[in-house]
């Protein structure tokens, strides 16, 4: 589980804990909601799912960008080292 997934899971766990604390002892749940309230709840749930998917997609792009930068710096370092080695080998031949 990546850091963003852990954060989102913690947020969901916290939400469920708050919801559990707000449910009456007699167990009344969504069946006591009006049709309008149930529809709004389903809409909010859909928005939550879309927001999570967007965050995960964005985090994936973030990770790929970090890897690209790391790879480009490694390539630059390798090329620099290769150029130095080439110039060291060329100097004795020129003399």
User: What pLDDT digit, counting tens, does each position of 5-19 carry?
Assistant: 999 999 999 999 998
Among 60, 66, 67, 70, residue whose Cα is nearest residue 4: 60
pLDDT band at 64 (very low <50, low <70, confident <90, very high): very high
Supply the pLDDT for residue 28: 61
**Residue 62 predicted with pLDDT over 90:** yes
Cα distance from N-terminal residue to C-terminal residue, the chain:
59
Angle, alpha carbons 53-59-64 (nearest 5°): 130
């Amino acid at each position: 589980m990546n850091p963003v997934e852990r954060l989102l899971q913690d947020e969901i766990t916290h939400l469920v804990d708050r919801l559990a604390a707000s449910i009456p002892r007699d167990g009344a749940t969504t069946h006591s909601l009006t049709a309008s309230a149930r529809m709004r709840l389903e809409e909010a749930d859909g928005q939550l799912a879309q927001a999570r998917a967007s965050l995960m997609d964005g985090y994936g792009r973030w990770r790929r960008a970090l890897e690209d930068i790391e790879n480009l710096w490694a390539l630059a370092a390798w090329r620099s080292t290769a150029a130095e080695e080439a110039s060291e080998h060329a100097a004795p031949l020129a003399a």
